[in-house]
Chain A
Amino acid sequence: MKTRRDFIRSAVLGASATWTLPGFIDRTFAELGDEARDRSTQFTTGKDGSILVVLQLAGGNDGLNTLVPFGNDEYYKARPKLAKKQKDLIRLSDGIGLNNSMPFLGSLFKEGRLGVVQGVGYPNPNRSHFVSTSIWETADTTNRANTGWLGRYFDNACEGVDPTVGMSFNKSTPESFGAMRNPGVSLSSPELYRWIHSGGNQAQAEEFFSELNQPGNDDEDGPTDGGSIDMPAGGKVGGLAGESNLDFLERVALDAQVSSKKILEVAAKHKTNVQYDGTPIARNLNLVSRMIAGGMATRVYYVSHGGFDTHNGQINSHDRLLGQLDSALKSFFADLKQQGNDKRVTLMTFSEFGRRVSENASAGTDHGKASCMFVAGGGVKGGLYGKYPSLTELSQGDLNHTVDFRSVYADLLGGWLKAPNIGKILGGEYKGIGMI
């Protein structure tokens, strides 16, 4: 039986090549092999593939004051202090208006490039930030999955194990990236996604480091028998079938090194002359645009905008947060247009839940259920989707959902990212809402 190394050396690269390729490159080459021919997976070169940006509104965004049902008296009854007057809204349809802190999204809507999904949620909603975020990120309403919906997309639908297939600009890895094989990379800034030497003679230290973190140090030892390039190992762990833990570690070490170098290079090389605000969300979207400009092979980017847990004194803080979002998106889409990448990128917002219909006594709102989502960019057919939930038929004072969030995911996975096996990724068949 051929060992993995033999396979790489002889069948793919020719006898002269040495085993110093990162895992994701060797899998790219493996794609050329016979075994790969029938595989229903996809690979992007970084220049042409469609890209999804997932933007989390953390804390539970108040859908009712974001997408306002101004035609409904119940709304004004429930929110004597917080309700938005019709004249303060950007009208989207009869009875529905957009919070006017978001003029850019309003103009996108008018141009037919913004999809607005009303009443999104899931059955038996949970009002805990922690649990509900987890449900959205894993797309598992029983909150038992150890992998996320995007991680399962990477595992099931993306060729190779290029770690940069997903990139998150968050402090920690989002649960949605959780994967058996390839959880993407998460970095708070490119400068930190690297080996930090911070001692004397950095260049030299890095040379030693790079030498030690590529396979080949153990060339004499026995090969791992029966290792197959194609099959991910079953069970709970990542890695390839038959791969020893040491081989696995060496492969990840090289992946880390190569991807880190690439990200730093791209971040340093691509600047923009579009003006971004100094807010964290603007900074992070700026990073995303630089990565896209640099031709990363990334299919999914993840960024987060926090502060939506508006229990008290909501009116100013909520409008400010939406304004920051709108302004950051305006810069981002202008930037993409300048790069000529605007057609390749679709952006989706989500939040773990909406808020109670009635305002509370501190001029804020408490944790609720259904809310709205925005989907903007390249592939979207603009317009309103779903049905605005009833403001009289409530469940414990909350809106009932009319659209399951997994059918929005299904649209994006199938229609936009062209994933072949959505049922496997979402753990069930969900019909899209026809937005793409």
Chain B
Amino acid sequence: MLPPAKGNWTKEEARHLLGRAGFGGSPDEIGRFHAMGREKAVDFLLNPEEPVEAHPKPEWADLKAAMADMAEMMMERREMMADTRGMSDEEAAKKRQEIQKEIQRESRRQGLEAQHWWFNRMLKSKAPLREKMTLFWHDHFATSIQKVKQPVLLMKQNELFRNHAFGNFRELTQQVVRDPAMMLYLDTQRSSKSMPNENFAREIMELFTLGEGNYTEEDVKQAARAFTGYQLNRLNGEVMQSARAWDDGEKTIFCETGPYNGKDVVSLIFKKDACAKFMVTKLWEFFAYEKPVDPAMEDLAATFRKNDYVLKPVLREIFLSSEFYGEEAMATMIKSPVQYLVQLIKELEMESAPLGFPIMGQTQLGQVLFMPPNVAGWDWGKAWINTNTLLTRYNLAGSLTKGSVGGMMGRGDGKLGKLAERRGMRGGSVGPDFPKIAPESRRNETEKLVDGLIGRFFCVPIPAKARDSFIAYADSKKGVSFTDKELGELCHLMLSTPYYQLC
């Protein structure tokens, strides 16, 4: 077991835990979290009171309804096709294209709404670790809407991740094997007895459970045979392994032989020692820091195995360990774009994101929900930052602190605006709650004002020279009065620094 953290539970530690295990928070939120004490705070994260159903999903995302819609649509399509009889080839083709376009339009709209929905959920959820783990799984079992094309299936997968947020890793992997979105993403349904597709068999070992070097090419080949015959029923959205299309012959995988199916392969994988260490290392890197030392990971892996691959005890051990609050972990992580955006909105005391802001920000910063770049997920850490994305982060912060997002989004005249109007996604606050960020009374003492803002925005200790700059800037703004406008400019300057990129 990792040596547990001892001694005082400081406010910095509370901020650190809420930042890593969630998406940070306003000073009030951090204060409440701190007041719980270390153990209670970790319990709060791992046993959230907020039910999974707390944030109702869009109507179209209900799988049953969506399948019914799909059936209806197919019928309609057939009717419309029938209508094309008697038309010229050209007219008929045009008609077909119209139908196709309509379907694409609807799917794009739903995709946008799904992205919006999840981002807001991260922002508002009272179960921050559950959302963070859902994001972890989304990256781990990466699946993109760009290929799957049916938002309803991504939403179903999202629900699966959320339900298994701290649950059993083996069970989740079994479910992912039969997940329609994953299946479409990795072309499992095209894998047949005569031509087994090694894609899924390879990814599951290399990326999902064991890591390179812990299986052989022959294992992949044999496992591919076991993963044949999976079929997606487009009418109920369920995946079954068809007995007829499945290769029922003997396979030898990890030196064991039997007429294995996909489920058996997953069981075999989870008998291997490498599996636990692979996953705990990935978790550690996600929550604490990269390249941890080996013995610590062996300890965590032992906990994971002892608990039959249930994640909760492992997460608990991480968050209560002294190493998690050590020098290497505190304030050293580069925020991912999604983390950056959610945290920024929280720290600016905004109830919700301005319309379109989350998608625009995610696109420009390189992490769009439901659109990981490939099956390996996103590259994290330093890979988020280059000169373009850093300047963009600075300017996105500026657009919020100066309330100019409306302008950037074309004031709702554009496609996004109209769309949002129709979907009732409009509303919410337009800018930061400046009186809450710094009450008028505090604005005259610039040192106090700046220190308050430093406490709000930064987890890194700010060098004296930078603090002096902030104060000098605030002093230069003081003039007649320190209105929200000047405060916004001060905030923007503070957010336009390397320090703000860390959590």
| Chain A interfacial positions (CB closer than 8 Å to B) | 128, 130-131, 143-144, 146, 163, 172-173, 180, 182-183, 185-187, 192-201, 204-205, 208-209, 211-213, 216-221, 233, 235-239, 244-246, 248-250, 252-253, 255-256, 259-260, 311-312, 360-363
Q: Is the CB of A195 within 8 A of B394?
A: yes
Segment touching A, from B23-31, B47-55, B91-99, B303-311: B91-99
Contact of A248 among B373, B376, B382, B463 (CB under 8 A): B382
Q: In whole angstroms, how far apart are the Cα atoms of A311 and B146 in the complex?
A: 20
B213 to chain A, nearest CB (A): 15
A260 and B391 contact, Cβ closer than 8 Å, known pairs A130-B146, A245-B502, A362-B90: yes
Q: Is the CB of A249 within 8 A of B498?
A: yes
Contacts of A217 on B, CB cut-off 8 Å?
A: 463, 465-466
> Quick check: is B105 within 8 A (CB to CB) of the other chain?
no
Contacts of A185 on B, CB cut-off 8 Å?
A: 386-388
Q: Is the CB of B496 within 8 A of A245?
A: no
Contacts of A128 on B, CB cut-off 8 Å?
A: 147
Interface of A is mostly: loop
Q: Could you tell me which residues of chain B, from 468 to 498, have a CB within 8 Å of some CB in chain A? A: 469, 472-473, 476-477, 485-486, 488-489, 492-493, 496-498
Closest to A208 in B: B473
Q: Is the CB of A198 within 8 A of B363?
A: no
> Quick check: is B176 within 8 A (CB to CB) of the other chain?
no
Interface of B is mostly: helix
Q: Is the CB of B147 within 8 A of A195?
A: no
Contact of B466 among A198, A212, A237 (CB under 8 A): A212
Q: Is the CB of B498 within 8 A of A213?
A: yes
B358 to chain A, nearest CB (A): 16
> Quick check: is B375 within 8 A (CB to CB) of the other chain?
yes
> Quick check: is B364 within 8 A (CB to CB) of the other chain?
yes
Query: A143-B374, A199-B488, A236-B381 given. 13 additional CB < 8 A pairs?
Result: A173-B366, A197-B398, A199-B485, A204-B476, A212-B497, A219-B465, A237-B382, A249-B501, A252-B387, A252-B498, A253-B498, A260-B391, A361-B92
Q: In whole angstroms, how far apart are the Cα atoms of A155 and B380 in the complex?
A: 18
B98 to chain A, nearest CB (A): 10
Q: Is the CB of A208 within 8 A of B387?
A: no
Contacts of A360 on B, CB cut-off 8 Å?
A: 93
Closest to A240 in B: B382
Closest to A253 in B: B498
Contact of A363 among B90, B147, B469, B501 (CB under 8 A): B90
Contacts of A236 on B, CB cut-off 8 Å?
A: 379-381, 383
Contacts of A362 on B, CB cut-off 8 Å?
A: 90, 93-94, 97
B398 to chain A, nearest CB (A): 6
Q: In whole angstroms, how far apart are the Cα atoms of A128 and B184 in the complex?
A: 14
Q: Provide a sorted-by-A list of 16 A–B residue pairs whose CB atoms are within 8 angstroms.
A: A163-B386, A187-B388, A194-B391, A195-B394, A212-B466, A212-B496, A221-B463, A235-B291, A236-B380, A236-B381, A237-B383, A246-B498, A249-B501, A253-B390, A260-B391, A362-B93
Q: Which 5 A-B pairs have the closest CB atoms?
A: A361-B93, A249-B498, A237-B382, A256-B387, A361-B89
Q: In whole angstroms, how far apart are the Cα atoms of A238 and B363 in the complex?
A: 20
A276 to chain B, nearest CB (A): 25
A252 and B93 contact, Cβ closer than 8 Å, known pairs A212-B466, A236-B381, A237-B381: no
Contacts of B364 on A, CB cut-off 8 Å?
A: 172
A244 and B463 contact, Cβ closer than 8 Å, known pairs A208-B473, A213-B497, A259-B387: no
> Quick check: is B252 within 8 A (CB to CB) of the other chain?
no
Closest to B488 in A: A199
Q: Is the CB of A361 within 8 A of B485?
A: no
Q: Is the CB of A237 within 8 A of B388?
A: no
Interface residues of B, count at CB 8 A: 57
The contact string, 1 if C-beta is below 8 Å from chain A, for chain B 238-250, is: 0000000000000
Closest to B473 in A: A208
Contact of A245 among B382, B387, B489 (CB under 8 A): B382
Closest to B328 in A: A244
Q: In whole angstroms, how far apart are the Cα atoms of A65 and B379 in the complex?
A: 40
Contacts of A180 on B, CB cut-off 8 Å?
A: 383
A196 and B390 contact, Cβ closer than 8 Å, known pairs A209-B493, A213-B498, A311-B97: no
Contacts of A218 on B, CB cut-off 8 Å?
A: 463, 465
A113 to chain B, nearest CB (A): 34
Contacts of A213 on B, CB cut-off 8 Å?
A: 496-498
Closest to A128 in B: B147
Interface centre among B290, B333, B385, B477 (most CB of A within 10 A): B385
Closest to A195 in B: B394
Contacts of A196 on B, CB cut-off 8 Å?
A: 394-395, 398
Q: Is the CB of B460 within 8 A of A199?
A: no
> Quick check: is B344 within 8 A (CB to CB) of the other chain?
no
Q: Is the CB of A249 within 8 A of B381?
A: no
Contact of B395 among A163, A172, A195, A363 (CB under 8 A): A195
Q: Is the CB of B496 within 8 A of A195?
A: yes
Q: Could you tell me which residues of chain B, from 354 to 408, have a CB within 8 Å of some CB in chain A? A: 363-364, 366, 373-376, 379-383, 385-388, 390-391, 394-395, 398, 402, 404
Q: Is the CB of B90 within 8 A of A193?
A: no
Contacts of B502 on A, CB cut-off 8 Å?
A: 245-246, 249
Contacts of A183 on B, CB cut-off 8 Å?
A: 386, 388
Q: In whole angstroms, how far apart are the Cα atoms of A141 and B382 in the complex?
A: 26
A249 and B94 contact, Cβ closer than 8 Å, known pairs A130-B146, A361-B89: no
Q: Could you tell me which residues of chain B, from 47 to 96, have a CB within 8 Å of some CB in chain A? A: 89-90, 92-94
Interface centre among A183, A218, A233 (most CB of B within 10 A): A218
Contacts of A220 on B, CB cut-off 8 Å?
A: 463
